[in-house]
């Protein structure tokens, strides 16, 4: 198709869609207005029913926990798919040893980068754990904390060399961490059923509001999510960075 014809088609399509766009814009609620009663109901009920102070966590890991279960398995499927694709292309059983690529060496890190990463990586990992543990109290939770922990692992890679990083980032360990997280979430769903309650029903003791251990089943589902997200993120990092196949300074390039 010629550029001119393409432009004509684009303009016709835009003109056809314009009335719909205008109608939607005219009927939008005003800024900051929330017409639905659900948010207010959660704000009113969750602190009393679940002893939590972060309503987002109450919705994610309890009231709509079933949706989060689906999301977690979507993540598991996505990570598994990426791993199968990348590892499958390289061949099975080669993922344990970092690959070599001639002529692909990268510049060695400067001492400043190493120093900054060695300082900030543990701090970031600690902060990730903090975000995970305070899911029911302050903003954050398993998803965010898991990704922050994964970012800490990335800083470790930046600070150390690829080969050193691969020595303590074992694929099998993170396979197990991710699978354990997914399993914990499912068990948190079926556990209450063993006791005669409904799937994912919050039957655990709720504890004192504003305490680190509070919210009952939310603690379990949140921990499962954190493990699955952190494990999955590190696995993706492992496979993606293996694609870059950076050599160490001492290696023959």
Binding residue for other proteins, selected from 116, 129, 137, 154, defined by CB under 8 A: 154
Residues 231, 216: Cα–Cα separation, whole Å? 24
Asked if 10 touches other proteins (CB under 8 A), the answer is no
Asked if 183 touches other proteins (CB under 8 A), the answer is no
Residues 62, 138: Cα–Cα separation, whole Å? 16
Length of the chain: 253
Q: Which two structure tokens, joined as six digits, stand for 156?
A: 């470790």
CB-nearer residue toward other proteins: 3 or 205: 3
* Phi-psi group of 210: left, alpha or beta (phi > 0 → left; psi -120 to 50 → alpha; rest → beta): left
> Which of the residues 20 through 49 are near other proteins (CB under 8 A)?
31-32
Asked if 144 touches other proteins (CB under 8 A), the answer is yes
CB-nearer residue toward other proteins: 56 or 179: 56
By CB under 8 A, the count of residues binding other proteins is 25
H-helix or E-strand spanning residue 138: none
Q: Least separation, in Å, of the C-beta of 222 and other proteins? A: 13
Instruction: Determine the interface stretch with other proteins among 15-23, 69-77, 144-152, 188-196 (rule: CB under 8 A).
Output: 144-152
> Which of the residues 44 through 83 are near other proteins (CB under 8 A)?
54, 56-57
> Which of the residues 91 through 110 are near other proteins (CB under 8 A)?
101, 104
**Which positions ≥6 away from 151 have C-beta within 8 Å?**
124, 128
Asked if 131 touches other proteins (CB under 8 A), the answer is yes
Is 47 in contact with 209 (CB distance < 8 Å)?
yes
CB-nearer residue toward other proteins: 101 or 187: 101
Q: What are phi and psi of 143, to 5 degrees?
A: -65, -55
Return the axis-axis angle of helices 65-90 and 171-194, rounded to nearest 10°.
Answer: 150
Instruction: Determine the interface stretch with other proteins among 12-20, 36-44, 149-157, 173-181 (rule: CB under 8 A).
Output: 149-157
Asked if 243 touches other proteins (CB under 8 A), the answer is yes
Q: What are phi and psi of 30, to 5 degrees?
A: -65, 160
Asked if 232 touches other proteins (CB under 8 A), the answer is no
């Amino acid at each position: 198709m010629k550029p001119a014809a393409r432009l004509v088609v684009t303009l016709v399509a835009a003109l056809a869609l314009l009335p719909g766009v205008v109608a939607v814009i005219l009927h939008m609620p005003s800024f900051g207005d929330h017409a639905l009663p659900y948010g207010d109901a959660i704000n009113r009920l969750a602190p009393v029913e679940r002893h939590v102070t972060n309503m987002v966590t109450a919705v994610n890991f309890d009231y709509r926990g079933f949706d989060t279960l689906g999301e977690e398995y979507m993540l598991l499927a996505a990570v598994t798919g990426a791993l199968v694709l990348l590892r499958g292309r390289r061949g099975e059983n080669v993922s344990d040893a970092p690959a070599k690529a001639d002529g692909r060496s990268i510049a060695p890190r400067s001492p400043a980068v190493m120093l900054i990463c060695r300082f900030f990586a543990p701090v970031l990992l600690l902060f990730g754990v903090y975000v995970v543990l305070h899911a029911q109290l302050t903003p954050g939770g398993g998803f965010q904390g898991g990704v922050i922990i994964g970012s800490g692992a990335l800083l470790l890679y930046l600070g150390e060399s690829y080969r050193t990083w691969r020595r303590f980032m074992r694929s099998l360990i993170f396979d197990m961490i991710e699978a354990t997280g997914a399993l914990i979430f499912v068990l948190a769903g079926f556990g209450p059923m063993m006791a005669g309650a409904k799937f994912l029903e919050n039957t655990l003791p709720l504890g004192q509001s504003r305490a680190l251990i509070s919210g009952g089943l939310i603690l379990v589902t949140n921990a499962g999510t954190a493990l699955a997200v952190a494990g999955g993120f590190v696995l993706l990092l492992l496979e993606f960075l293996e694609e870059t196949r950076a050599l160490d300074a001492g290696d023959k390039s």
